């Protein structure tokens, strides 16, 4: 009996050893976490990635930037918002003096029980949250730094005490030094509660582009939730494909008729109202009459040679019976684009 038992123990030990060796040489299960830092989960932000044959290129560009930012404001006092102003502005990667203009606008609106939503293009983020290095095979976009020091999007939102959603689309130069590591992209700042943020990656063209959509819920009994979306298309002919892709998302949302939608940004529409990007968006959502003057500015006499209207707003506000005014300002306030401002009355 003892002999047989010793044999059984030896056989069992052999089986266990073989199993352990097999387990040690078997690759561990794939992680469910995104391998790209830019896609690391951020509570409150969902991704809609583009899948169209240029995935590898988009992944490289994505891998050169940090993850998105969502910082919701904490509200301690109730408010009765009677109107909501939506500002769309390409701030030229820190060139626009947002830290001066937005507080001025906030003070004017507070006297009118007004809330503020700012749709920024070409804003930037710096510091530890930006990866130290870019992928070795990626030629990062050149750095655009018209004014430094300047508050990055996180510092700006903190100083303004506004909620912020920021999604970088590309690197701002390849510098790995901590003080000069930057990424850039679109952002939404809001004095009102911000929720249900979606990052919408567009087809790759000259550069990687990511639109942002979010729900804004004005405080008080008068204002109703609305959806806002900020965009920035390529400067070359790829903008038409990007506009067509985003227009399909706009169409899908408007068909739900769940809430009003306001879309705004820099379309880089070199051909004005005849531009394919403008036409693609206008086919799915009403283009707002905010003016016809040029929105792009260049310094001094060269400005006369600049192209025309690049910045537009679109909305479904008519479908919900909402009154509004829209205008294009004259002063670029340090940027190379002038702001476009819409005010909705509840």
pTM recorded for the entire structure: 0.89
pLDDT at 14 over 70: no
**pLDDT given at position 152:** 98
pLDDT at 304 over 70: no
pLDDT at 65 over 70: yes
Three-class HEC string of 105-167:
HHHHHHCCCEEEEEEEEEEEEECCCCCCCCCCCCCCCCCCCCCCCCCCHHHHHHHHCCEEEEE
Edge to edge, the sheet with strand 45-48 lists 45-48, 194-201, 210-216, 226-232, 261-266, 311-315, 286-287
Instruction: With CA atoms as reference, report the closest residue to 185 among 231, 151, 139, 145.
Output: 231
Contact between 296 and 312 (Cβ < 8 Å):
no
**pLDDT given at position 301:** 56
E strand segments, the chain? 45-48, 69-71, 83-90, 114-126, 163-171, 182-190, 194-201, 210-216, 226-232, 261-266, 286-287, 311-315, 323-328, 340-345
Position 84 confidence tier, pLDDT thresholds 50, 70, 90: very high
**What does the alpha-carbon distance between residue 192 and residue 117 come to, in Å, rounded to a whole number?**
8
Contact between 62 and 40 (Cβ < 8 Å):
no
pLDDT at 311 over 50: yes
pLDDT at 33 over 60: no
Which tokens sit at 4? 């047989």
Indicate the fold that domain 34-345 takes in CATH: Deoxyribonuclease I; Chain A (3.60.10)
pLDDT at 346 over 50: yes
End-to-end Cα spacing for the chain: 91
**What does the alpha-carbon distance between residue 270 and residue 296 come to, in Å, rounded to a whole number?**
10
pLDDT in tens, 312-342: 999 999 999 999 999 999 999 999 999 999 9
**pLDDT given at position 297:** 87
Question: What number is the average pLDDT over the span 215-232?
Answer: 96
């Amino acid at each position: 009996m003892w002999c047989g038992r010793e044999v059984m123990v030896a056989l069992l030990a052999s089986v266990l050893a073989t199993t352990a060796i097999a387990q040690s040489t078997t690759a561990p299960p794939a992680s469910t976490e995104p391998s790209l830092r830019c896609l690391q989960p951020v509570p409150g932000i969902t991704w809609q990635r583009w899948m169209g044959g240029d995935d590898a290129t988009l992944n490289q560009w994505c891998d050169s930037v940090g993850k998105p930012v969502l910082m919701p404001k904490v509200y301690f006092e109730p408010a009765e918002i009677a109107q909501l102003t939506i500002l769309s502005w390409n701030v030229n990667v820190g060139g626009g003096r947002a830290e001066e203009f937005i507080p001025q606008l906030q003070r004017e609106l507070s006297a009118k029980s007004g809330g503020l939503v700012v749709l920024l293009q070409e804003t930037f983020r710096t510091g530890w949250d930006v990866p130290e290095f870019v992928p070795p095979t990626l030629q990062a976009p050149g750095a655009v730094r018209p004014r430094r020091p300047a508050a990055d999007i996180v510092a700006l939102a903190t100083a303004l005490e506004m909620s912020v959603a920021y999604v970088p689309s590309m690197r701002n130069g390849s510098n790995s030094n901590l003080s000069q590591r930057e990424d850039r992209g679109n952002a939404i700042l809001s004095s009102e509660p911000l929720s249900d943020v979606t990052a919408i990656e567009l087809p790759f063209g000259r550069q990687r582009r990511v639109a942002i959509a979010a729900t804004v819920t004005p405080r008080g009994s008068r204002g109703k939730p609305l959806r806002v979306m900020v965009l920035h298309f390529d400067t070359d002919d790829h903008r038409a494909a990007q506009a067509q892709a985003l227009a399909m998302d706009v169409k899908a949302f408007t068909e739900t008729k769940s809430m009003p939608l306001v879309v705004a940004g820099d379309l880089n529409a070199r051909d004005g109202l005849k531009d394919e990007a403008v036409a693609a968006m206008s086919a799915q959502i009403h283009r707002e009459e905010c003016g016809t003057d040029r929105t792009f500015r260049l310094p001094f006499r060269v400005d006369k040679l600049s192209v025309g209207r690049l910045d537009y707003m679109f909305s479904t506000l008519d479908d919900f019976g909402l009154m509004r005014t829209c205008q294009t300002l004259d002063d670029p306030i340090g940027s190379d684009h002038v702001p476009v401002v819409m005010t909705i009355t509840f």
